[in-house]
Amino acid sequence: MIPVQGYAGRCVAVLGLGRSGLATCHALAAGGALPLAWDDSPDARARAEAEGVALHDLSRADWSQVAALVSSPGIAHLYPEPNRHIAAALAAGVPVDNDIGLFFRSFATADTMAMDQPPKVVAVTGSNGKSTTTALIHHILTALGRPCQMAGNIGTGVLSITPPVEGEVVVLELSSYQTELARALTPDIAVFTNLSPDHLDRHGGMGGYFAAKRRLFAEGGPDRAVIGVDEPEGLFMAGQLAEAAEDARVIRISSGQKLAGPGWNIFARKGFLAEYRAGRQVASIDLRAMPGLPGAHNHQNACAAYAVARSLGAAPRVIEDAMASFTGLPHRSQLVAEAGGVRYINDSKATNADSAAKALQAFERIRWIAGGLGKDGGITALAQHLDRVTKAYLIGHSARDFALQLGEHPHEVCDTIEQATARAMAEAQTGDTVLLAPAAASFDQFPDFEARGSAFIAAVQAGLGRT
């Protein structure tokens, strides 16, 4: 646990008692603060009481006695409209923060700063690839024997990690919900993978969404920034952060285009990762045979992780060996099975059209399972990738909308993931890939994308007669 600094003897309201909220309560108490915990959900309140967290109804709070309000990431504080408790705190002039802000406020202590090699924080944000990039960085550093922890939007809550030891690296995955509200953002290395439309209602549009991501760099002031420049926003931000074209504090990364110039550039083309510094190639890695990193989108993730590892002093060949042993993450281009010449891939994390496009580009002769709670635009943007799709099997709330958008392309409305998987398996031929890449949220039929992915795995195993 990371005890929260700066609030000893003061009341701090905590809104939202999920994983991060409960961890915040315990970390505040460990730092001597008095947490006032609340959640509008009776179930969440019951779980908190079972953990010994005292509840305080924030609708009755005396805000003049509260030093700060700490909100969980999923609670809206501005768009589409502020939560009523957050609105009351803001009206009373009470600062609003989140657990990420508390973490950066509390991570550095007198003990850590006295170490010969103080611990470092790597923070990863972007629209797609955050989780894989974060896990790959953690995997590489662990393989190199360096102490490392992974937290944030993946794995452990940031305040629940073990206090770091000398030379340790903490790798955080940060969503736009987390970067937007945090009052402190001070990573040593910050990574921006890419940007595509997502969560636009929460951020008041694309500009607000980009601004939330950009805060990690503009306000965080990292010692080194790793920036994906395949979209205009990333290219713009890299230009803003660099003092000159040769400024090596900014590492530009790309998947699909060669990056030129006198700076520090890392890119992947045709399955090969190349590192250039001062206009000269210094390293190359063959990514094609790495089973945990299929497709161009994962090659971008590899570029980002490689850049971080190089920034921390690792040699190219050592990084390559570590990458080769990376098996990937569950529900992210996960190879579930291969039988009868057919591959079964679980990419349930592909919850929007852009991430689904990356999955479709990674395979050929696809029997595509898609659908769920569709987002703005549905799958119209995926028309250019349908030449790889033999047939689509549509599920969930958006199944019929997706069917209309597919037009004459072969498709079948199956409603449930079990029906869709069974139909795809029955029709699959040698050389086909049965791919779950929903291009939609899961909340119509499942509590989260993990549950949806697990249902697909179970359906594949049942179809293959496995348990």
Q: Is 85 in the active site?
A: no
Residue 391 is labelled as binding a ligand: no
CB contact burial 209-248 (16+ within 10 A = b; e otherwise): bbbbbbbbbeebebebbbbbbbbebbeebbeebbeeeeee
Does the annotation flag 130 for ligand binding? yes
Q: Within 10 Å of residue 116's Cβ, how many Cβ atoms? A: 6
Residue 53 DSSP class: P
Strands 264-269 and 250-255 turn out to be parallel
Which of the following is catalytic: 26, 77, 120, 130? 130
Any residues with CB less than 8 A from the CB of 78 and at least 6 apart, and which? 204
Q: Check 153, 265, 346, 352 and give the catalytic one.
A: 153
- Dihedral (CA of 371, 375, 380, 383) sign: negative
Query: What residues contact residue 397 under an 8 Å CB cut-off, 6+ apart?
Result: 371, 372, 373, 374, 440, 444, 445
Does 358 participate in catalysis according to the annotation?
A: no
Query: Is 199 one of the annotated active-site residues of the chain?
Result: yes
Residue 131 marked ligand-binding: yes
Q: Which of 199, 391, 397, 409 is catalytic?
A: 199
Q: Contact, 389 vs 411, CB < 8 A?
A: no
User: Is residue 301 marked as binding?
Assistant: no
132 known member of a binding site:
yes
d(CA 10, CA 446): 40
- Cα first-last separation, the chain: 38
Q: Are strands 440-441 and 373-374 parallel, antiparallel or unpaired?
A: antiparallel
| Residues assigned a catalytic role | 130, 153, 199
Which amino acids are annotated as binding site, given as ranges? 126-132
Which amino acids are annotated as binding site for ATP, given as ranges? 126-132
